[in-house]
Structure 1
Amino acid sequence: MIKLGVLDQVYVSEGRTAREGLLESTRLIQAAEELGYSRFWVSEHHAMRAIAFSSPEVLVAHLAAATSRIRVGSGGIMLPHYSAYKVAENFRLLEALHPGRIDLGLGRAPGGMPLSTRALQQDKYVDVNRYPQQVLDIIGYLHESMPAGHPFEKLLASPSIPTAPEIWLLGSSGESARIAALLGTSYAFAEFFGTPGGEEATKYYLDHFESNQLLEEHPRAMIATLAICAETEEEADRLARSSDLLFLGIRTGRELPFLPSVQTAADYPYTETELQLVQQNRQRRVIGTPDQVKEGLLRLAEAYNVSEILINSPIHDPQARIRSYELIAEAFGMKEKR
């Protein structure tokens, strides 16, 4: 049976504040831990009013402190903006505070529009082609195994501890899969982005994985997808309308400053073209009753040949969102397995 986790982008819901969104995320991870979800990741996005945070490492610290068992991590840190050394220091500290529970997901994307990227990289020369070397540097820092001759060979990323966070490379393209296979890291594909070629990218990673003596001996891949579950198909469809309108705005360059309510989404005057875009987006979603969602997730796991899925559920009503995760957990018998 596949393992299930949570990807939370911590939206600011219409009619509520960023602080309320962060408190809802805290309640969600506590519910997810109780329900038996394996891990809880938070993303990195910049200058988006609809998202309540931009520093995953800070939120990871808070969420890990609010729980005791579930793995907590970044999905992910957009590494080209930052020093590999500083990222290693941050996540070694998190691992020291919560040993065996921290994941370090790394990505190459900017996580925002060009203006925020310019601000993040102000007075810096950034070459995204150095990303693989940055990943290798982080591995060396986390395991105190910098190669001989490296300019920072003897540099400690404190604190010195016996364990290290799990490293995952994130991607929505074949290039990230190639890098993850070459470096011997775990690989997570953002299936919910709707980018074509995900099955092929994951297959490439699994087929070309080269083990890294400091990391996993075998390839490990998972996907992140959007799933919304309710007792009836009609209710699941109703709840999903908020994300329909949210992602339509992102796709058409008219971002909303919040996750809209179901009523706002129902009242929106969609054009025929916009309705077609919504239907296209829906093809990449898993929406329905517990049995329908279970079937859809198992179908995705088989198509991608993965044994783990992170579920992203942008639902405006916080209780309905927790209920969605609860219904999925019940469908997979997760409580019984604990």
Structure 2
Amino acid sequence: MAELSLSILDQSPVSEGMAAEEALQNTVELAKHAEKWGYRRFWVSEHHDSAALAGSSPEVLISYIAAKTSRIRIGSGGVMLTHYSAFKVAENFRVLSGLAPGRIDLGVGRAPGGMPRATYALHNGERRNIDRFPAQIDELQMYLHDAIDPEDKLYGLKATPVTNTNPEVWLLGSSQKSAALAAEKGLPYAYAQFINGEGGPEAMRTYLKQFKPSPYLKEPKNIAAVFVCCAETDEEAQRLNASMELARILLEQGIPSDGLPSPEKAFAYPYSRFERAHIEENRKNMVIGSPKKVKDTLLRLADVYGTDEIMLVSNMYRFEDKLRSFELIAKEML
């Protein structure tokens, strides 16, 4: 396997007592440091109607980050395509490609990125048609590559501006179905282990085995996205990770949250026996520990997933701790 590259997916997390403006600026600051430390790409997510995650519009955030950086690839992790017109997404990302040529990734997903009321609002009360997702991917590529069939009534239509470079389109997912779809379409595939740790390696094997070369990609190209928390010692990493563990427990039970809780609040929380067991289960899909432990685990995961790139996701109460986590990993591995 080639040398392992590392990338970052940031969700612009909001800690308790933090303003959304600060969370967004933290994302920009992290991107600037990620470029300096040698990370390969920096993606931002799309979440709606969330007090805990500030990133609702990846296109806008990408443009700002691209202006604040000069080399690192910037992208969406991802655009929830079923909410939008494929034509408009193509135009948005051609604008971005014109502003930052050769640096833009367009990751697309099928998930809603929020609760049902947000989906209702995004679709003006109409039903979201997830069955059209495969066709929307084809439409997106058609607009990006000016490949409208001459017999099509839209022939001659251009997704403007017509730029010299296009974004690199990635299909995002966390299931066998998404892996098979990426293979069928001949697209790069990013598997979100931080969302679904069950069956990830099997899904990736499906992608690698079933991949069909396309006009956009001749050989399979893949990423595994994992949750990570690194500190100088294993004990300190576990302490910092307590914030995310409590946040995840509350989210899974539908309990409203004003943001990511502090480690102190997490340690004081009266967990039930069921919740403690659930935390232990969740930890199996997280990478938590000292720089050496994190490195060893990431190298093993890269081998398991058959990839030369791992994308790291990290949410911590204090931004300084999160920044230090990525710096420690970079010093150990990049």
Q: Under TM normalisation by the shorter chain, which class is it?
A: over 0.9
Q: Of 174, 190, 196, which residue of structure 1 is paired with 2:192?
A: 190
1:269-325 C-alpha deviation (Å, 9 max, x unpaired):
111111111111111000000010001111111111111111011111111111110
Counterpart Cα distance in 2 of 1:286 and 1:125: 38
Deviation at 1:126, TM superposition (A): 3.9
Q: Which residue of the partner structure matches residue 274 of structure 2?
A: 273
Cα deviation, residue 150, structure 1: 3.0
Q: Report the equivalent of 2:66.
A: 64
Q: Tell me the CA shift for residue 176 of structure 1.
A: 0.9
- Residue 18 (structure 2) pairs with residue 13 (structure 1): no
Q: Distance in 2 between matches of 1:167 and 1:151?
A: 25
Kindly indicate whether residue 247 of structure 2 is the aligned counterpart of residue 246 of structure 1. Answer: yes
User: What is the aligned partner in structure 2 of residue 227 from structure 1?
Assistant: 228
Q: What is the identity, as a one-letter code, of the residue corresponding to 1:33?
A: E
| Contact 1:60/1:72 (8 A) holds in 2 | yes
Contact kept, 8 Å, 1:78 with 1:108, in 2: the verdict is yes
CA contact under 8 A between 1:48 and 1:257: conserved in structure 2?
no
Gap regions ≥5 residues in structure 2: none
Q: CA deviation at 1:230?
A: 0.7
SS in 2 for 1:192: coil
Aligned to 1:47: 49
CA distance in 2, matches of 1:119, 1:151: 30
Q: Which residue of 1 is the match for residue 25 of structure 2?
A: 23
Alpha-carbon distance between aligned partners in 2 of 1:115 and 1:277, rounded to the nearest angstrom: 28
* CA shift in 2, pair 1:268/1:123, >3 Å: closer
Matches within 5 A, 1:128-277: 128-213=130-215, 215-277=216-278
Question: Are 1:94 and 2:104 an aligned pair?
Answer: no
Q: Is the 8 A contact 2:228 2:314 kept in 1?
A: yes
Q: Tell me the TM-score normalized by structure 1.
A: 0.96
- Asked if structure 2 preserves the Cα contact closer than 8 Å seen for 1:184 and 1:210, the reply is yes
Letter paired with 2:203: A
The alignment covers a number of residue pairs equal to 332
Q: Secondary structure at the match of 2:217?
A: coil
1:78 match = 80
Counterparts of 1:152 and 1:77, CA distance in 2: 24
Q: Structure 1: 5+ residue runs without aligned partners?
A: none
**Separation (CA, whole Å) in 2 of partners of 1:209 and 1:33:** 31
What amino acid sits opposite 1:221 in the alignment?
N
What is the percent sequence identity of the aligned residues?
47
SS at match of 1:237: helix
- CA offset at residue 124 of structure 1? 4.5
1:194–1:281 CA contact under 8 A, matched in 2:
no
